[in-house]
Amino acid sequence: MLLGSNKIVFDLSCGRGTYLQTKDDAKRLGKLLVRIGKALNKEVGYIITSMDEPVGNSVGNVLEIRETIEALNGKMSKDVEDTVVSLASIVLNLANREKDFNKNREKILDVINSGAALQKFRQMVVAQRWKSRIY
C-alpha cells in the first residue's frame, strides 16, 4: 500500500531571488505539477506568490516562525493574510469541493480567530517533539 497525501497545494514563489523569475515561469511549473499530480492520481493546486519583496515583516527562519505564531493568533499583515487565505482556500476546495472563495475565507479566519489553528499548530509541534518556547 502506498502512503502519502492525495491532495497537495504548492506556493510557487517567483521574482527576484527565486528560481522562477517571472509569473509565466511559475504558471508553467504549476501546470506541470498539476499534470504530474493527475498522472499519479493526486489532486494538485497552487498559488503564485511574488517574492520581489518578502511576504510579511520578517526574514529568517526563527523570525518567520514567530510571525507565523502571531498570524495564528490573528495578528497578521495583509500580505500574510492574503497568502494564508489563498492557500487554505485551495485546500478547502480540494478537500470539500467548496469553490466559493468568500465562504472559504470566512471559515479560515473563523478557525484562526477562534484559536483552533494555533491549538492545531501546538499539537503538531508536540507530535514532532520539537523543544521550543517560542509559542
Which DSSP string corresponds to 82-126? Answer: HHHHHHHHHHHHHHH----HHHHHHHHHHHHHHTHHHHHHHHHHH
Maximum pairwise Cα distance, the chain: 43
Q: What does the pLDDT profile of the chain (135 residues) look like in tens digits?
A: 455 789 999 999 999 878 999 999 999 999 999 999 999 999 999 999 998 888 898 888 889 899 999 999 999 999 999 999 999 999 999 998 888 889 999 999 999 999 999 999 999 888 887 555 555
Q: What confidence score (pLDDT) does residue 5 get?
A: 87
- Indicate the SS3 state at residue 128: coil
44 and 67 inside one domain: no
- Nearest Cα to 46, choosing from 94, 112, 96? 94
Query: How is 21-79 classified by DSSP, letter by letter?
Result: -SHHHHHHHHHHHHHHHHHTT-EEEEEEEE-SS-SSS--SHHHHHHHHHHHHTT---HH
Question: How many domains does the chain fold into?
Answer: 2
Q: What confidence score (pLDDT) does residue 3 get?
A: 54
105 and 135 inside one domain: yes
9 and 32 inside one domain: yes
Range of the domain at 124: 59-135
Among residues 12, 37, 53, which one ends one of the domains?
53
Q: What confidence score (pLDDT) does residue 54 get?
A: 83
18 and 69 inside one domain: no
DSSP-derived secondary structure letter, 4: S
78 and 123 inside one domain: yes
Q: What confidence score (pLDDT) does residue 134 get?
A: 54
95 and 75 inside one domain: yes
Among residues 53, 70, 88, which one ends one of the domains?
53
44 and 65 inside one domain: no
